[in-house]
Structure 1
Amino acid sequence: MFNTTLKPLLLSATLLATALITSLSSQAQSTTNNLHDSWNALLNKHVVAINHNHSTEVDYAAIQGDHTQLKTYLDSLSAVTQNEFDAWEKPKQLAFLINAYNAFTVELIVSNLGSKEPQNLKSIKDLGSFFSSPWSKAFVPLLGKTRSLDDIEHGLIRGSGKYNDPRIHFAVNCASIGCPALRGEAFTATELESQLQQQTVRFLSDTTRNFAQENTLNISSIFKWYGDDFEKGFRGAETLQQFLLQYSDALKLVPAQQKALRNNDMKVKFLDYNWDLNARQ
C-alpha cells in the first residue's frame, strides 16, 4: 500500500522542481535581454527622433566619447558561441542579429571618424572603395567567424531561411537618411514582435519616403532591392502589393486606391534613396 505520509513530500518536491525550472528559464531570458542593456543605454542616450518620429538622427560624435562602452558591448556579442546561439528560440536569435548589425554599423562609422567632425563624413558609402562596398568589409567577429555586415543581413538573417520576416528591413539600419529609423532602444526577444510592427508602421507612414498620389504608389527603393522578401508568404502575402495592403492605413490609402492596388491596377514607383549620413547636426 502507498504510504500516504509521502504524498506531501512528493508534492513539495514537485513544486520545488517546477519553481526551479521556472527560475532557470527566467534567468536565461533575463541573461539574453541583459546582453543588450548597454546597447540599449547608448541608443537611449544618442539617438534622437525627428520628422514627427518617423526618422532618427544619431549623435556619432557623442558615441565616440562612449566608444569604450560600445566596444565592450560588441565584445559581449562576439563572445556568444554558435552553440549558444543555436540553443536560443528564434526571437532571441533574430533580436541578437538585428542588434549586432546595427551596433557594428555604428562602430564602422565611429571608428572611421578619427579626429574628424561627423559632418566631414558625408555617407557610409564613403567608407567603401571602387572595388568593394563598406557592407562587404569583413570586420565583425560574430559566431566564431569574422564577418561583414552583408554576411549578417543577407546570410544569417535573410539567407538562413529561418525567419522569413520582411519587417527586418525596417529594423536594420544602414546609417543613411533613406534607411528606416535606427530604433532608440535595443531589440529584445520578448518585445521583438511589437518592435518590428512599430518599425514597419513608422517607416511606411513616413510621407517623405512612401506616399500615394492618385493612382501611383511612390515607395522606398527598399521594396525594389528586396522585393522577393515581401513575396514569401508573410501573413499570407504572396506579392508586394498584398504585403503593402496589410499596411493600407499607414500608407493612407483610400478605398479606391486599395482596390486598385489589390487588382494590380495601381502604378508602383520606386523613389530615389538618400545615402547621406543620418548624423545628428
Structure 2
Amino acid sequence: MARSTEQATSSAPERDGSPTTLAQDLLVACRRGDSTERYRTALAKATDADLRQIREDRQTGLAFWLNCYNAGTQLLLEERPDLYESPLRFVRFFHAPAVTVGGTSLPLDRIENGLLRGGRSKYGLGYLPKINVTNFERRYRLDGCDPRIHFALNCGAESCPAIRAYEPDRVDEQLDLATRSYLDATVEYDADAGTVLVPRVFLWFRGDFGGGSGIRELLRSYDAIPDDATPKIRHNSWDWTRAAGKFVE
C-alpha cells in the first residue's frame, strides 16, 4: 500500500511504477529535496492504458490529480519563482507548464479547473462551466466537484492549506482530515455578532460549495459553527506571500 507523505520521509521511495505511485513519489521527492527527474519523465511517458484507472476510478483520479497539482506547485516555486512574484502571477504562474502527464503539458489552472473541478470555470464564483475544454480534459476530468479539494490544493501562498500525499484507498478520509484541520485553523465564529469569518476560497468557489446554505452546512458538519447557527458569512483576506514547502508535519 502506498505510504503517506509523513511516512515516506524516512527512506527513498522505491515502489511500483504506476502513475498513481509516481505522482505520490514525485510529491515526496519535492518535500525531501531529492531529484524529481525520474518521476517526471515516467509520468510524461505514461500511456492511455497506464492511465486507465485514473480515468475510470474516481478515488484514484482524485488522489492522482491532487498530488500532481501540489507537486507541480512546488516544482514551479523552486524552478521559476519569478512567475509567482510577478504582478501577472494569475496568468504567468498558474498557466505555466507544471507537470506533464501522458505527453500532455499541464499548468496548475488546467489541473484544478479542467480536471479536479470537473470542467468548471475559475470565473463566476464556481457557477459557470469552463469554456475552453481540451480533449485531455474531457477524457480525464472528474465527474463533478468535491469541494473539499479546496482544502487540499496548495498554490504556494501563505494562506494555502498544508500539503499531504493522497492515496486512492484513503483519499476520502484524508480529505476529511485536511478540511477539518484547515477550517479549525482559519474559521472564526462570532455568536454575538451572528457572523462567521471564512477563508476567501469560499467566495472564489462559492458555487462549488452550494452557495451560502451549502457553506453553512459544511461548516456545521465540521463543527466550525453550531448546528443551530445561521450566521452571516464574511470572507477573510488572502495572504499571497510565497510559502514553498508547506507540508503536513
Judged with a 3 Å threshold, the aligned counterparts in structure 2 of structure 1 residues 240 and 93 are, in CA distance, closer, same or farther, namely same
Partner of 1:55: none
**Secondary structure of the equivalent of 2:153?**
coil
Counterpart residue type for residue 38 of structure 1: D
2:162 matched to 1:181?
yes
* SS of structure 2 residue aligned to 1:135: coil
1:229 to 188, 199, 208: 208
RMSD between aligned residues: 3.0
User: Residues 30 and 142 from structure 1, CA distance in 2 versus in 1: closer, same or farther, beyond 3 angstroms?
Assistant: closer
| Alpha-carbon distance change, 156 to 141 in structure 1, aligned in 2, over 3 angstroms | same
- Say yes or no: does 1:240 pair with 2:215: yes
- Superposed, 1:78-117 pairs within 5 Å as 78-88=44-54, 89-112=57-80
Give matches, 1:209-228, under 5 Å: 209-214=186-191, 215-228=194-207
Structure number with greater Rg is 1
Distance 1:217 1:238, change over 3 A: closer
Do the aligned residues in 1 keep the contact of 2:151 with 2:161 (CA within 8 Å)? yes
Residues 71-122 of structure 1: per-residue CA shift (max 9 Å, x gap): 3222222222334323441111111111111111111011125xxxxxxx7x
Matches within 5 A, 1:145-164: 145-158=104-117, 159=119, 160=141, 162-164=143-145
- How many residues get paired? 206
1:223-249: CA deviation from partner (whole Å, max 9, x where unpaired): 0001111119xxxx96222222211x2
Distance 1:259 1:76 in 2: 51
**CA 1:212–1:149 in 2, change beyond 3 Å: closer, same or farther?**
same
CA distance in 1, matches of 2:105, 2:245: 30
Q: Could you say which structure has the higher helix fraction?
A: 1
Aligned to 1:260: 229
- Structure 1: give runs of 5+ residues left out of the alignment: 1-28, 47-62, 114-120
Cα distance in 2 for residues equivalent to 1:271 and 1:79? 42
Structure 1 runs (4+) greater than 6 angstroms displaced: none
TM-score (norm 2): 0.72
The 3 A distance-change label for structure 1 pair 90 and 271 is: same
Aligned to 2:5: none
User: What TM-score does the superposition give when structure 1 sets the normalisation length?
Assistant: 0.64
Identity %: 27
